[in-house]
Amino acid sequence: MTPSVPTGRLPDRVDVTVIGAGVVGAAVARELSALDLEVAVVESRHDVGDATSKANTAILHTGFDATPGTLESALVSRGYGLLRAYAQVVGIPVEQTGAVLVAWTPEELAELPALERTAVANGYTESAMVGPDALYRDVPALGPGALGGLTVPGESLICSWTTALAFATEAVERGAHLRLGCRVEGMSRQVEHTVLHTTYGDLASRWVVNVAGLASDLVDGWFGYRRFTVTPRRGELLVYDKQARSLVDRIVLPVPTSRGKGVLVAPTVYGNVMLGPTADDRDDRDDTSTSETGLSFLLEKGATVLPALLDEEVTAAYAGLRAATEHKDYVIDVDASQRYAVVGGIRSTGLTASMAIAGHVTAALLDAGLDAARRRDLPGPPRMPNLGESFPRPYQRADLIATDGSYGRVVCFCERVTAGEIRDAFASTIPPTSLGGLRRRTRALNGRCQGFYCGAEVRRLFAAFQGGAGPSPATTEAR
């Protein structure tokens, strides 16, 4: 078993335990650790944001297409501003590319006015209808047959990996106890506490917040609820070579259906182009394999939307699981008698809404009797390494290289990751425990060669920085 990081025992007893360190769990932990509370965060996987969060489409949504009046609509709308501001403070790369929703059939075209009204009802007033001429002027590589579109200038790209890590880093620096690789296998109720039975022993917690994502319905069941069932919805994605980036400078969306937002084409903050996701309901909560049908479906969509994309090389193919439920809205609720909160049914909008969700559930906990004052001794926010292409990276910075030559030693050529950045990742508050973790902190190995050139050297550095005593890098999967 990989030792979790940060190391050290969990205390026997805490005020609040957050189950799950995805992007939302980490945001909740960060918010709670601003209060005068002993906070624990337990995560079954070996990294922060290592399940649903890492395979997100990584878009900071305006919420223009949410269902008006829902909790999701309110929290996405509020979360957009909160995360945007936070991103600037801690250095999460965000690029406001804007989006255009493209109608390919008369039926889709007929839906655009209603979508524009929905956007307004969601408080988003920047959208505008555009004709095909404007579409082809803005995205010349768009496939033939587009009839019209709706612009959403506020839609932005964001790095979902850095977001989850920033929240968790700040929570840990505020004193939260983060335990990775720690699975909660059951619980028992006592008068004053809930005792969580984990793979690392028992943890008594006065309050429990369930942000367990794909397992949130199971945890909810332990508290006697049958509110929702999670059906893992697999989303397969293709990431194209950076050389495709000139084909598309904004997010190209389809007209949404009841199944979700559909297959989009979007640049990424790392300078690639993404095509996906599929939406395919599964039984297995761990199955993140890609499939022949999924990949060929994506190619078919891509051929319509941006045919020239298919001439480019694929850099990565991966799949993520969204915790879809039978409900159309988030399920966020506090049970004061059990001192238990659930944050479930969080869809792909959860990345955008994460900080607003955290604020919302924290307020609800305080209302329900969680007794804590805001701390006055909080450390400042962390500064995260920049993984984005639109901000200077170490290999481009003469000043940084002059002080430390290891920022001039490029190890991963395709992504231009330096030895200095890899070293820094291991010295960070939440160091990586796998090559996958290193990828998400530095981008090393994420490029077009997929390790042909640098794979061996990155593995050597991984082993060296783990001090030889650490685990061998168990996984190399991309996200």
Partner 1 sequence: MSTGTAGPATLVTPEVLIVGGGPAGLTAARVLAGAHRRRVLVVERERQAGGIPRHCDHTGFGLRDLRRVLSGPSYAGRLVAAAEEAGAEIWDGATVTSWSAEHGAEVTTPRGLFTVRAGATVLATGARERSRPARMIPGDRPEGIYTTGLLQNLVHLHHGRVGEQAVILGAELVSWSAALTLRQAGCDVVAMVTAHERPESYSALTALGRRALRFPVISGHRVVRIIGRDRLEAVELENAATGRRRLQGCDTLVVTGDWVPDVELARSGGLDLDRVSRSPVVDSDLRTSVPGGFAAGNLIHPVDTADVAALDGRHVARPVLRWLDDPGAWPSPEGARVVARPPLRWISPGRVAAGAPPRSRHLSWVDRRIGVPVVTVTQDGRVLGRRRLMWPAAPGRVFRIPSDLFAAASPAGGDVVVEVDGRP
- Of the pair 220, 415, the CB lying nearest partner 1 is at 415
Q: From the CB of 420, what's the least distance to partner 1, in Å? A: 9
- Of the pair 429, 450, the CB lying nearest partner 1 is at 450
- Of the pair 61, 242, the CB lying nearest partner 1 is at 242
Please give the residue ranges that form the binding site for partner 1 (CB under 8 A): 238, 242-243, 286, 288-292, 294-295, 313-318, 395-396, 398-399, 401-402, 405-406, 408-410, 413, 416, 448-453, 455-457, 459-460, 473-478
Report the alpha-carbon distance of residue 199 to residue 118 in Å, rounded: 46
Q: From the CB of 434, what's the least distance to partner 1, in Å? A: 9
- Residue 429: both structure tokens together: 């508050």
* Alpha-carbon torsion (348, 349, 355, 356), positive or negative: negative
Q: From the CB of 115, what's the least distance to partner 1, in Å? A: 33
Nearest to 173 by CA among 54, 30, 43: 30
- Taking CA 151 as the corner, what is the angle to CA 146 and CA 157, rounded to the nearest 5 degrees? 110
- Of the pair 136, 413, the CB lying nearest partner 1 is at 413
Output DSSP code: residue 32: H
Q: Which helix (H) or strand (E) holds 95?
A: strand 94-95
Nearest to 479 by CA among 65, 26, 41, 50: 50
Q: From the CB of 238, what's the least distance to partner 1, in Å? A: 8
Q: From the CB of 348, what's the least distance to partner 1, in Å? A: 21
Crossing angle of helices 435-442/455-465, nearest 10°?
100
Q: How many CA atoms lie within 13 A of 48 on its CB side?
A: 35
Under a CB-based contact definition with an 8 Å cutoff, are residues 176 and 33 in contact?
yes
- Of the pair 94, 214, the CB lying nearest partner 1 is at 214
- Of the pair 116, 415, the CB lying nearest partner 1 is at 415
- Taking CA 261 as the corner, what is the angle to CA 86 and CA 323, rounded to the nearest 5 degrees? 70
- Of the pair 153, 307, the CB lying nearest partner 1 is at 307
Largest CA distance in the chain: 67
Q: From the CB of 392, what's the least distance to partner 1, in Å? A: 11
Q: From the CB of 449, what's the least distance to partner 1, in Å? A: 5
Among left, alpha and beta (phi > 0; psi -120 to 50; other), residue 278 is: beta
- Of the pair 61, 393, the CB lying nearest partner 1 is at 393
Under a CB-based contact definition with an 8 Å cutoff, are residues 50 and 321 in contact?
no
Q: From the CB of 322, what's the least distance to partner 1, in Å? A: 18
Report the alpha-carbon distance of residue 121 to residue 126 in Å, rounded: 12
Q: How many CA atoms lie within 13 A of 371 on its CB side?
A: 1
